Structure 1
Amino acid sequence: MRSDPLDRWRGVLDLRDVYGGRSDPAFGCLFGVHERLGFRPVASGRGLPLDVSPQTRGAQREGLSGHTWIGWQELAGIDWDEPSERPDSRVRHYRRRDDGTLELVGTYLWDTGFTGRVDVETSAGGPADWAERREWTDGSTVYRADRARRRDAVDTTVWNPVWKIMEVLADVHGPGNVRLVVWFG
């Protein structure tokens, strides 16, 4: 720790060092950027922290937006089973097993191919205007409009390295002394 309270934060690593890819569902669920799943974002629109580290401030350039941050304590307290506030704008595609249960195959955005396969029309409000649990069946294939859970939006295989590093830093420096600062280009 430094004696100057405004200089107590330091950048530890660039997120790109441990996070491989782009995830609009996660960015929307957590930070409110490209939000399409109906979540109230956890840490949206906070801007850069006033006491941002010199490394983070130095990484800023023109064309960046969506600056926000989340602390480890807040992140560790997220209810990953919390449902979205409205049905997901994507359709879940299931395969009906022989025992009648459904196996998730994938999640798809509404498209004309889907509407043609199941003979439905797009609602006036668009795909996100579906009634919750609306279901269309095509043989052993079931399409369903459901509410997403936060865990559906944030792929743990991609984000776990970030969470693990933050957790280790929280163990060493205290949970209130670790945060993730993000922005989007």
Structure 2
Amino acid sequence: MRQSVVDLKLFIDYLLEKEGNEIFAIGLSLGAILLNLLMGVDNRILKGVSIMGGGNMMRITIEGLYGLSARMYYKRQGLNWETYKEEINNFINYVNEVCRRKKLLTPPHKWYLVDPLTYACFNRPRRIMFINGMFDKVIPKKAVIELWRKLGKPKIVWIPSTHYTIPVFFPYAMKLSMEFFKTNT
């Protein structure tokens, strides 16, 4: 994740040099997670559309569809539901403290630094729109709502989709995205 953000920042440098000063971006799935992370650390993206993304990587990893292998690994490491909830609470407390102090703090775990929730309060001045699936099991709804709230409750559109049926809705998602990018607010 960290290397992807570094690469995307270099791409933004290139775009600003070649194309001008207005950068809008769309991210899908992991790309949406990266977009939210990137917008928290780089203020040059003016608007973003997060499609099928969310925040709180631990929640996505443990509660999402792809979490089975992670759950099995963590169980072997002694992590049970109670320790998981404690880790989630510790992470949320860290995020709240970062927002309260308005600066990044040394985290107890390195993964905190690659989670969009960590940087959400730095992203709030900019515009973001969410497009998420009502039936998505890969990105749990709770992970979407957590990030959405930390970003100040920007516009969110729920479509009748799973993570895998989103291509059916691409024309609609692109129409919404273009309308969002054209607005001045």
| TM-score, reference length from structure 1 | 0.26
| Higher Cα Rg, which structure | 1
Structure richer in strand, relative to its length: 1
Structure richer in helix, relative to its length: 2
| TM-score, reference length from structure 2 | 0.26
